[in-house]
Amino acid sequence: MTLLISIPSIDKTINFPFKNEITINELINQILKRVGLETVQQQQQRQQTYILKYNDNELFENDTIGDLSIPDNSKLILINQSEINLTTPTTITTTNSLDEDFNKIEISNNNEFLIKQIDIIVLDISGSMSCDAYKGSREPGYIEMKRIEVAQTLFQTMIDKYVSFEVPVVAGLVLFGHNIDTTFEISKNFDSFSQELGNVEANQNSTRLYEAIYHAANEISKYKENPKEKLSDDVCFRIFLLTDGNDTTNISPYEVYKFLKPLNIILDAIPIGQEQEGLNALSILTTATGGSCFIANSTQEGVALFEREALLIPTQRDGFSPFSLSIKNFNEYSSLRGTVLKTIDRKIDHSLQGVAFISKIDKEKLEQQISNNNNNNNVGSTSSSKRIFKEYIQFQKSIDDSNSSSSSSQSSAFTIFTNPNDISIWKVIMKGEVGTPYESGHFVLSVQFPTDYPFKPPKIRFENRIYHCNINSDGNICLDILKDSWSPSLTIEKMLISIHSLLSNPNPMDPLDVVKAGIYRDNIAEYNNQCKKWVQDYASSLDDLLKDHNLI
């Protein structure tokens, strides 16, 4: 979570950590220090010299960001009142209204839900974490954040996704430098976690990296023995490490591996500004545990990475299997080759491999299946199936009527394919609208109806890649009717029509992909060119899509 701060007087732009509790006066003070504008005179006269503006409105010095309800990823402008030419800001807002598509993970609003993941964030607070995060800048006039600020931003992004996805996870925070402290015990109180994370300062000597991992593992072990929440039988245990330096103790990574293995605790890591030797050591250790070592070359890349489902939830990774490598001794450990990832994709649902989705269903067979469910007292399943079947018939009739029209412009944008063994699983081919950058494209959407449909919305996502500021890299769609504004009176036809409309009417003020939203705002021609390029690369061949997704 960040704020974008524009400073016209020095022609600079910086990212700043988003903190609800910071006052405007404190924010101005910290911005001036960051960019080197702090002088004694300015300290004495700052309130008469500098102001912050948002949406062309001056912000009152004693208000906090939270008081003003300023969303994260918004753009503020720092104005020197002695200047004549003022710049009017534009604003980017982000949303957490993501599709909750986490297969085989229990999601519930009930306090009795089972915890399926225990995370401890292990954060380096040595003095070097106050250095600039990245060498140089990809954009002239752009000042990067400090390493500790990037760390706060990345992990706050992860916490936000925990909350918005209602992930069944608890998390704790361990800080290390010369000292090693558990500053937030394992809990699902993420509001307090965010506050603790926002108060972190990097000012210690030494880097007791491997000792901190030991400490975090012991914290997980203690929680497992005396949990404050109900745990699932298949809990995933993870330590997530962010550091910028090599370990300054004499502990061997292999000894850490041997300690983690019987506890079944994987290690994920994201080094920032680390030398190659330390990076290699971390990548080998993460690989040995079944975790991953990530890297990002900018704050924007890091935030995009930390929004990925498979980073958020390790069990969503393809082939995820903790400690599956056979490592019997130090020599075998030393022979490992670690890998470093810039992104990570969610796993493919192999349960549907080999299933041919059909465009025309056997109505009599399906009615018999629904009747059998009713006879077996599967009341919820039967009720849901009847509703889905009814909507299928109505939607298919609407498609057929459109396609039989004499005007080719009236033909339907949709083709429905269903799982012959399960009416609750669909795939839909959607054509891009003529006159838009998507007009020559065909997009595959997966639709999964819950057993309590229509009281809960279906889960819909794009299966092939699409360039759109309201659709993220995992195919999740930012559309209020898919979550908060869902109503049982809505139908799948209405939802798909809304998604189709979203392609031609993107909403950059409520994006899932902040980078794409910025391009749309600043250079719509470039945005449209990228849309067309992605259509050509990923959505131009209907025959390939039908084959790849087993649609007949």
For 269-289, what is the mean pLDDT?
Answer: 88
Do 381 and 526 lie in one domain? The reply is: yes
User: What domain range includes position 328?
Assistant: 115-347
Do 377 and 336 lie in one domain? The reply is: no
Q: 295, 323, 347: which is the final residue of a domain?
A: 347
**244 DSSP 8-state letter:** S
- Band of residue 107 on the pLDDT scale cut at 50, 70, 90: very low
In this structure, the strands spanning 169-176 and 180-187 are antiparallel
Do 292 and 416 lie in one domain? The reply is: no
pLDDT digits (tens, 9 = 90+) for 459-500: 999 999 999 999 988 898 988 898 878 888 899 999 999 999
Do 491 and 378 lie in one domain? The reply is: yes
Do 180 and 232 lie in one domain? The reply is: yes
**Sign of the dihedral through C-alpha 505, 508, 512, 514:** positive
CA 233/CA 522 separation, integer angstroms: 49
Catalytic residue selected from 293, 469, 478, 531: 478
Going edge to edge, which strands form the sheet with 414-419? 414-419, 422-431, 442-448, 459-462
Res. 165: pLDDT tops 60? yes
Res. 83: pLDDT tops 90? no
My answer on whether omega of the bond before 454 falls inside 30° of 0, hence cis, is yes
Do 357 and 242 lie in one domain? The reply is: no
> Could you give the dihedral angle defined by the CA atoms of residues 544, 545, 551 and 552, in that order, rounded to the nearest 10 degrees?
-40
For 416-441, what is the mean pLDDT?
Answer: 93
CB count, 10 Å around CB of 240? 23
Both tokens of 230, joined, read 């109900």
* Window from 11-15, 179-183, 321-325 with minimum mean pLDDT: 11-15
Please check whether residue 96 lies inside any domain of the structure: no
Query: Between the CA of residue 367 and those of 15, 356, 385, 389, 491, what are the distances in Å?
Result: 57, 20, 9, 9, 20
In this structure, the strands spanning 115-124 and 169-176 are parallel
Please check whether residue 109 lies inside any domain of the structure: no
CATH code, 341: 3.40.50.410
Res. 111: pLDDT tops 50? no
Q: 299, 329, 347: which is the final residue of a domain?
A: 347
State pTM to two decimals: 0.74
> Could you give the dihedral angle defined by the CA atoms of residues 318, 260, 172 and 510, in that order, rounded to the nearest 10 degrees?
-20
For 265-284, what is the mean pLDDT?
Answer: 88
CATH code, 392: 3.10.110.10
* Strand, coil or helix: 435: coil
For 537-552, what is the mean pLDDT?
Answer: 92
- Band of residue 163 on the pLDDT scale cut at 50, 70, 90: confident
Do 140 and 25 lie in one domain? The reply is: no
Q: What is the mean pLDDT of the chain?
A: 85
Residue 315 and residue 351 in contact, taking contact as beta carbons nearer than 8 Å = no
When comparing pLDDT for 277 and 30, which is higher? 30
Q: 347, 366, 389: which is the final residue of a domain?
A: 347
CB count, 10 Å around CB of 254? 18
Do 343 and 360 lie in one domain? The reply is: no
Please check whether residue 103 lies inside any domain of the structure: no
Please check whether residue 407 lies inside any domain of the structure: yes
Do 214 and 261 lie in one domain? The reply is: yes
Q: What is the pLDDT of residue 84?
A: 40
Do 436 and 296 lie in one domain? The reply is: no
CATH code, 46: 3.10.20.90
pLDDT digits (tens, 9 = 90+) for 40-49: 345 455 444 7
Q: What is the pLDDT of residue 142?
A: 61
Please check whether residue 466 lies inside any domain of the structure: yes
Do 70 and 179 lie in one domain? The reply is: no
Nearest Cα neighbor of 157 from 24, 300, 30 is 300
pLDDT digits (tens, 9 = 90+) for 239-266: 999 998 788 888 999 999 999 999 999 9
Q: Known catalytic residue: 469?
A: no
Do 219 and 243 lie in one domain? The reply is: yes
Please check whether residue 110 lies inside any domain of the structure: no
For 358-384, what is the mean pLDDT?
Answer: 67
For 299-324, what is the mean pLDDT?
Answer: 92
Please check whether residue 307 lies inside any domain of the structure: yes
Q: What sections of 404-541 are H helices per DSSP?
A: 492-504, 514-522, 524-538
How many C-alpha atoms does 104 have within 13 Å on its Cβ side? 12
Please check whether residue 93 lies inside any domain of the structure: no
Res. 293: pLDDT tops 80? yes
Q: What is the pLDDT of residue 143?
A: 64
Q: What is the pLDDT of residue 60?
A: 81
Quote the number of domains for the chain. 3
